């Protein structure tokens, strides 16, 4: 197990290095000058060159890349070109907002999807199954940019239960989390149903039923435990996407998260902030994938034995 963790951590370092380097060069090659965005087109050429020199944008691209990597090693991502604040402070504030939104959306999705998928698998071919899969199809079909305004019109403008937008407490978090969690719940419920149906015909399930165990006890205690691997994979991928920033949902509800910061920084050609956002997003994916792999060993003892034998 220690050797496995070390190898995964080394792979994570290479992944983050590759992703951050590719984004560094891509954003510098995209047409557009951050100096013109900051000063406008009416400023003299001398003022532009002075600001470009002050920001270090007149140095060779490889030299800027080396300075960026050296800063990452020292946990220094530089200063925002637009706001003139440390990138780490901007990321810290925005990441907390995105983490709050992702966590609540994840909880909502799990609380909806797992009971829905279990019922659909237990009542395969019945109206319960049809209703559960109908909800899943509806959740997959409704985009966030339509569901979000619909919830705002109903629960904010109509009933006045929740704020329209912004981040001003738990009440302002409910509608964005429901919007974000609905699509995840739809995908997850279908995965729970299909995974359960694959294991319900196994010999150990028939043995458990022959011993007189109840239907849902067999489903939860034997079936769901052995059907967790594909579900964990999907959960890890979707949670990484949520932490990466739900750009559409954050835009609809004016939620000050990491996704909205990334879009704003790309529009402003704020190189350090874009690079910092991508670095945090890639790190989130890597950490979540590592935790997912470790959860495999908890869900399936056979994986744990294979790792110990290696």
Distant-in-sequence, close-in-space partners of 194: CB < 8 Å, separation ≥ 6 = none
Q: What is the mean pLDDT of the chain?
A: 75
Q: How far is CA 135 from CA 122, 142, 191, in A?
A: 17, 11, 14
Give the count of domains, the chain.
1
Instruction: Reply yes or no on whether the pLDDT at 175 is more than 80.
Output: yes
With 0.85 as the threshold, say if the pTM is over it: no
pLDDT tier, 212 (very low <50, low <70, confident <90, very high otherwise)? low
Q: Is residue 106 part of a domain?
A: yes
Give, as one character, the DSSP assignment of residue 123: T
Residue 168 sits in which domain range? 99-268
Is 3 part of any domain?
Answer: no
What CATH number corresponds to the domain at position 179?
Answer: 1.10.3720.10
Decide if 21 is inside a domain: no
CA distance linking residue 219 with residue 240, whole number of Å: 28
With respect to residue 198, please indicate whether it lies within any of the assigned structural domains.
yes
At residue 45, what are phi and psi to the nearest 5 degrees?
Answer: -65, -35
**Residue where the block lists tokens 């050797």:** 3
Q: What is the pLDDT of residues 50-61, one digit of tens each?
A: 766 666 666 777
Q: Which tokens sit at 212?
A: 């007189």
120-167 pLDDT, tens digit per residue, is 777 777 888 788 888 778 877 777 778 888 888 888 888 878 888 777
pLDDT of residue 226 exceeding 80, the answer is no
Give the dihedral sign, CA 79/83/84/88: negative
Residue 79, beta-bridge partner list:
86
What DSSP designation does 164 have?
A: S
Q: What is the mean pLDDT of residues 259-274?
A: 80
Does residue 304 belong to any structural domain of this protein? no
Spatial separation of the C-alpha atoms in residues 65 and 72, rounded to whole Å = 11
Is residue 80 domain-resident? Answer: no
The residues near 300 (Cβ < 8 Å, ≥ 6 apart) are: 226, 228, 229
Tokens 């047409």 correspond to what residue?
31
203 in any annotated domain: yes
Between residues 206 and 277, the one the model is more confident about: 277
Cα–Cα distance for residue pair 149/109, rounded to 1 Å:
19
pLDDT of 305: 46
Tokens linked to 162 = 């929740």
Would residue 56 count as lying in a domain? no
């Amino acid at each position: 197990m220690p050797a496995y963790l070390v190898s995964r951590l080394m792979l994570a370092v290479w992944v983050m290095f590759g992703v951050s380097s590719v984004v560094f060069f891509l954003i510098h090659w995209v047409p557009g000058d951050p100096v013109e965005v900051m000063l406008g087109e009416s400023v003299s050429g001398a003022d532009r060159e002075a600001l470009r020199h002050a920001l270090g944008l007149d140095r060779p691209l490889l030299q800027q890349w080396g300075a960026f990597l050296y800063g990452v090693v020292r946990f220094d991502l530089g200063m925002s070109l637009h706001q003139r604040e440390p990138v780490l402070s901007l990321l810290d504030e925005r990441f907390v907002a995105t983490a709050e939104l992702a966590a609540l959306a994840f909880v909502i999705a799990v609380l909806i999807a797992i009971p829905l998928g279990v019922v659909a698998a237990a009542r395969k071919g019945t109206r319960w199954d049809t209703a559960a899969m109908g909800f899943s199809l509806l959740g997959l079909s409704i985009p966030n940019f339509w569901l979000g305004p619909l919830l705002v019109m109903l629960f904010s403008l109509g009933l006045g239960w929740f704020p329209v937008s912004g981040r001003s407490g738990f009440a302002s978090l409910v509608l964005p989390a429901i919007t974000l969690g609905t699509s995840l719940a739809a995908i997850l419920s279908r995965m729970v149903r299909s995974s359960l149906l694959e294991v319900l015909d196994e010999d150990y399930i028939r043995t458990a039923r022959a011993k007189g165990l109840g239907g849902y006890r067999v489903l939860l205690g034997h079936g769901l435990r052995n059907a967790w691997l594909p579900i964990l994979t999907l959960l890890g991928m979707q949670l990484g996407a949520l932490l990466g920033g739900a750009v559409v949902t954050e835009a609809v509800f004016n939620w000050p998260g990491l996704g909205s910061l990334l879009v704003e920084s790309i529009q402003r050609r704020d190189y350090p902030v874009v690079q910092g956002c991508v670095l945090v997003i890639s790190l989130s994916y890597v950490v979540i994938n590592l935790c997912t792999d470790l959860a495999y060993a908890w869900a399936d003892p056979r994986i744990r034995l294979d790792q110990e034998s290696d």
